[in-house]
């Protein structure tokens, strides 16, 4: 198979009648990450892909073959997750061999596949260990090995890194990436963690409930979100309700409650004299702490609007500083800045000037709910 061919294609897959159709695809040798805050939704999707739960509609194609109605053992989608733990009474070696023996594989073939899986997953020396003696990372390696002995073209991982300590998460992310590239696997990682998606995902699908709202690269979801749900849910953008005063050259001039002016790129459907949701990421907000009060009034009239705000909180996050500001109308904005020496001298209560270029923010049609 060409490394650029679609190994997995999911088209309009529905969990129940009336549910949105789930559509995405993934290429051999890559990782598709599906991000959803809700574990129950990831569980339903995992079971539909693996064949444990029938789909209400749509199709699942693997290497050009429709596997939607095939049973789990015949559909070429292997599922790994903590809902299907290792057999506690069996050794690591026996856990890897069990399903192969149950299918009637020859002993020499079972031994060869198990040995290859042990070496591939760094489990040499643990053949006779019992699951109770394994670390969470080692247990996950065995669970992945239990799936890989069948050489499936698609490997579905359901929230696999959740129980792991930080070092284990790093190691397992690297291992999964290497497996996808080296074996031409299509890995579908279902996760609640955005960091997992960013570090592993060649393609990222962001879900809200049982709907895939947007699928693309990380850059697509960060810089070209299709709606405010993606901007805030995936991009962690600030969300402000504004009233649009005018739209020209794709730029919306709008006002916050209280009349504070702001600008943003206008998404399709944004019109003058209508409410909109303005989304601006914390790292896109420029922050200036003036040397004396009242300097905001002297801002460049040809530049972007400047908001005067009060610093409410400041948190050192290691590689960045997270600042929480309160505007004159009571609304709050988060800004993210590098940990410069100047920020070490500021404290809550100080006045700041906040601004952003229109192209750094997006105004979306208002959906009707606040927050």
Confidence of residue 4 (pLDDT cuts 50, 70, 90): very low
Q: How confident is the model at residue 2, as a pLDDT? A: 47
How many other CB atoms are there within 10 angstroms of residue 272's CB atom? 14
Q: How confident is the model at residue 304, as a pLDDT? A: 86
Q: How confident is the model at residue 3, as a pLDDT? A: 46
What is d(CA 149, CA 170) in angstroms, rounded to the nearest whole number? 24
Residue 302 CB-density burial (10 A; 0-12 exposed, 13-18 middle, 19+ buried): exposed
Structure tokens at 252: 């919306």
Q: How confident is the model at residue 54, as a pLDDT? A: 92
Residue 371 has pLDDT above 50, yes or no: no
Residue 350 has pLDDT above 80, yes or no: yes
* 3-state secondary structure at position 74: helix
> What average pLDDT is seen over the chain?
92
For 73-85, write each residue's pLDDT tens digit: 888 899 999 999 9
Check: CB of residue 244 under 8 Å from CB of residue 363.
yes
In Å, what is the CA distance from 109 to each residue of 16, 106, 129, 139, 185?
41, 5, 22, 23, 21
For 151-203, write each residue's pLDDT tens digit: 999 999 999 999 999 999 999 999 999 999 988 899 999 999 999 999 999 99
Domains along the chain with CATH numbers: 6-223 (3.40.50.300), 235-365 (2.40.50.140)
Residue 297 has pLDDT above 70, yes or no: no
Residue 293 has pLDDT above 70, yes or no: no
Q: What is the mean pLDDT of residues 27-39?
A: 95
| pTM, two decimal places | 0.89
Residue 105 has pLDDT above 90, yes or no: no
Q: How confident is the model at residue 88, as a pLDDT? A: 95
Residue 1 has pLDDT above 60, yes or no: no
CA dihedral 223, 228, 232, 237 (to 10 degrees): 60
For 223-267, write each residue's pLDDT tens digit: 999 999 999 999 999 999 999 999 999 999 999 998 999 999 999
Q: How confident is the model at residue 295, as a pLDDT? A: 52
Work out the widest C-alpha separation in the chain, in whole angstroms.
Answer: 82
Sheet holding 65-66, edge to edge: 22-27, 6-14, 57-62, 65-66
Residue 302 has pLDDT above 80, yes or no: no
For 38-50, write each residue's pLDDT tens digit: 999 999 999 999 9
In Å, what is the CA distance from 357 to each residue of 167, 199, 262?
39, 29, 10
Q: How confident is the model at residue 94, as a pLDDT? A: 95
Sheet holding 321-327, edge to edge: 286-288, 351-355, 307-316, 321-327, 332-337
What does the DSSP 8-state code read for residue 339?
-
Q: What is the mean pLDDT of residues 344-364?
A: 94
Question: Which of 2-16, 94-108, 322-336 has the highest mean predicted lDDT (pLDDT)?
Answer: 322-336
């Amino acid at each position: 198979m060409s490394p650029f061919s679609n190994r997995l294609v999911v088209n309009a897959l529905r969990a129940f009648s009336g549910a949105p159709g789930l559509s995405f695809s993934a290429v051999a040798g890559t990782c598709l990450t599906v991000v959803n805050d809700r574990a129950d939704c990831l569980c339903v999707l995992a079971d539909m892909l693996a064949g444990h739960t029938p789909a209400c509609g749509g199709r699942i194609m693997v290497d050009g073959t429709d596997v939607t109605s095939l049973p789990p053992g015949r559909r070429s989608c292997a599922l790994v997750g903590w809902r299907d733990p290792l057999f506690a009474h069996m050794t690591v070696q026996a856990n890897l061999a069990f399903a192969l023996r149950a299918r009637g594989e020859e002993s020499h073939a079972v031994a060869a596949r198990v040995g290859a899986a042990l070496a591939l997953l760094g489990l040499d020396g643990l053949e006779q260990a019992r699951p109770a003696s394994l670390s969470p990372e080692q247990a996950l390696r065995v669970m992945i090995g239990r799936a890989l002995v069948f050489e499936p073209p698609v490997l579905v991982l359901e929230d696999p890194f959740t129980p792991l300590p930080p070092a284990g998460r790093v190691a397992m992310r690297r291992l999964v990436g290497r497996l996808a590239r080296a074996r031409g696997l299509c890995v579908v990682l279902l996760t609640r963690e955005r960091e997992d998606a960013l570090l592993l995902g060649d393609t990222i699908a962001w879900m809200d409930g049982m709907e895939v709202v947007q699928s693309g690269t990380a850059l697509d979801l960060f810089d070209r979100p299709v709606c405010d749900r993606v901007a805030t849910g995936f991009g962690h953008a600030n969300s402000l309700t504004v009233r649009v005063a005018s739209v020209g050259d794709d730029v919306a001039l709008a006002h916050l409650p209280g009349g504070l002016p702001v600008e943003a790129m206008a998404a399709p459907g944004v019109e003058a004299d209508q409410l909109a949701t303005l989304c601006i990421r914390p790292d896109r907000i420029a922050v200036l702490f003036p040397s004396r009060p009242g300097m905001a009034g002297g801002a460049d009239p040809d530049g972007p609007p400047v908001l005067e705000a009060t610093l409410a909180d400041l948190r050192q996050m290691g590689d960045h500083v997270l600042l929480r500001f309160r505007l004159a109308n009571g609304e709050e904005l988060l800004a993210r800045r590098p940990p410069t020496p100047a920020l070490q001298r500021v404290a809550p209560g100080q006045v700041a000037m906040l601004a952003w270029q229109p192209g750094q923010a997006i105004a979306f049609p208002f959906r009707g709910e606040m927050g």
